[in-house]
Structure 1
Amino acid sequence: MKKKSQQKRILLKLSGEALVEEGKRGITPFALKDIAKEIASASKDCQLAVVIGGGNIWRGVRDGGGIIDRVNSDNMGMLATVINALALQSALEDINIPTRVLTSINIYELAEAFIRRKAVRHLEKGRVIIFAGGTGNPFFTTDSAAALRASEIGADILLKATQVDGVYDSDPRKNPKAKLISRITYGEAISKGLQFMDTAALALCMENNLPIQVFNLHKKGNIKAAVDGKKIGTIIY
């Protein structure tokens, strides 16, 4: 998709944990305020879309406890992303950033339905858009939703903000000797079984030649640095 301006178009994938104090559930006001400021700073130099997860409120099969079936559990997770999106929208608008929430599930009273052309138009008008509701289907993660929406809007890159500094050759939280990988191909990431993003999302990015940058969410200024093309974290290409 050709853009009418030369301004970079970026999709930022955030986990729900970005909105909450570490180790807690729900939404923490100061964490919400901080991430809104980071997004506001980054949005000045690009057309910015956000996909947000819902793990701070509901995390699929784990929280279902074997009682709630997978489809219902995933549907609940999609609703959790809508809650997060509305919270983030309020925080952004509180600091005068025009924002729209678009959902893949029909909640007309709360947010706009996702229509690709409308999403692109919002971006061209300088609004930050927040995609909620995942893909609208169970069995797909919000990583897959991020890859899908980024491809649909013609994003130049998918930025994935995580809890660690990038992609490692093993889990750095379990292995203190884990090594940070600065660059890796989609195929290598899939074949090595690296767990930073699910295989369906990686495959979709590979098919659409969409680069991914993975970096640490918790370092102040990292979102802006990634938007500006700084070499932080890991590039998957």
Structure 2
Amino acid sequence: MAKRVLVKFSGEALAGEEGYGIDTQILNYIAGEIKSLIDAGIQVGVVVGGGNIVRGVTAAADGIITRTSGDYMGMLATVINGVAIQEALEHIGVETRLQTAIDMQEIGEAFIVRRARRHLEKGRVVVFAGGTGNPYFTTDTAATLRASEIGADMLIKATKVDGVYDKDPKKYPDAIKLDTISYDKALEDHIKVMDDTAIAQAKDNKLPIVVCNMFEKGNLLKIINGDTSLCSVVK
């Protein structure tokens, strides 16, 4: 059983059927799933993307906005989502701290790894926002970085699918779910659930990446307790 985990949620997942913005029902659901981990004595860090508001690559696609500015816009979007997750968690009684990679003291603490670890030891959820603080890096990379820094036992990539498949299961009914996949194979095949930089960083730090369906209630706790049938593991 893992004692300390980092859970990565996509920004798009917060949008629900609308495709943009924040669906408060999904926000409440995510908060409940995280609370179940805290109640089980697990230390939890969270990274959330910003794709429900703006994605840097998309914003810069037509050349009007530079990639650097687009990525900073995306980082700010993750802060908005981070504030929302913090509020949802504290609404149900889970003490939470928001730490940002970009200094904005009126909104959250500056990221300091020793402080983050101390919060986790005290049973607080720590939400890491603002990506890595640098353009040209995704929130997947930010999640792997923060997970490595806090000494997480695993990184859980909470998605809309229940794992990694040998081909797109939406297009091919005969797609086969891969229970485990090596870092090298994941890099070779450029699996779409995580970007290559994040996977390479996880490999260097021997950090397992668990890919699971966030919309199956109770999945996160079952996986942390060792049920690998509900996910795929990159290791």
Structure 1 range deviating more: 149-158 or 226-235: 226-235
The residue number in structure 1 matching 2:39 is 44
Structure 2 distance, partners of 1:27, 1:142, is: 18
Q: State the Cα distance separating 1:65 from its structure 2 match.
A: 4.3
Report if the CA contact (8 A) 2:212-2:232 is conserved. yes
Aligned partners of 2:50 and 2:73: how far apart in 1? 9
Stretches of structure 1 that go unaligned for 5 or more consecutive residues are: 1-5
Name the stretch that deviates more: 9-18 or 91-100.
9-18
Q: In structure 2, how many angstroms separate the alpha carbons of the residues matched to 1:205 and 1:65?
A: 29
Which amino acid is 1:60 matched to?
G
Q: Does the aligned pair in 2 maintain the 1:159–1:226 contact within 8 Å?
A: no
* Amino acid aligned to 1:110: I
Letter in 1 for 2:56: G
Aligned partners of 2:2 and 2:153 also within 8 Å: no
Is the contact between residue 50 and residue 74 of structure 2 (CA under 8 Å) also seen in structure 1?
yes
Amino acid in structure 1 at the alignment position of 2:44: L
How far apart, CA to CA, are the structure 1 residues paired with 2:29 and 2:11? 14
**Within 5 Å, which residues of 2 pair with 1:163-202?**
163-202=160-199
Q: How many aligned positions are there?
A: 232
Q: Which runs of 5+ in 2 are unaligned?
A: none
- Structure 2 letter corresponding to 1:225: K
Give SS of 2:211's match. Answer: strand
Does 2:141 match 1:137? Answer: no
Check conservation: 1:18, 1:32, Cα contact below 8 A: no
Identity in percent? 53
Which residue number corresponds to residue 49 of structure 2? 53
Alignment of 1:149 with 2:127, yes or no, is: no
Residues 7 and 229 of structure 1, relative CA distance in 2, 3 Å threshold:
closer
For 1:163 and 1:22, locate their aligned partners in 2 and report how far apart those are by CA, in whole Å. 13
**Deviant stretches of 4+, over 3 Å:** none
Instruction: State how far apart, in whole Å, the 1-side matches of 2:150 and 2:83 are.
Output: 21
Q: CA deviation at 1:17?
A: 2.3
Q: How does 1:1-12 map to 2 (within 5 A)?
A: 8-12=3-7
Distance 2:207 2:5 in 1: 11
TM-score relative to the length of structure 1? 0.94
1:103-114 to structure 2, matched below 5 A, reads 103-114=100-111
Which of 67, 72, 80 aligns to 2:69? It is 72
- CA distance in 2 between counterparts of 1:31 and 1:14 reads 11
Partners of 2:143 and 2:111 lie apart in 1 by 13
Instruction: Compute the displacement of 1:76 (Å).
Output: 0.3
Shift of 1:175: 2.7
Q: Which residue identity does 2:208 align to in structure 1?
A: P
- How big is the shift at 1:116? 0.5
Q: Which amino acid counterpart does residue 38 of structure 2 have in structure 1?
A: S
Alignment match, 1:33: 28
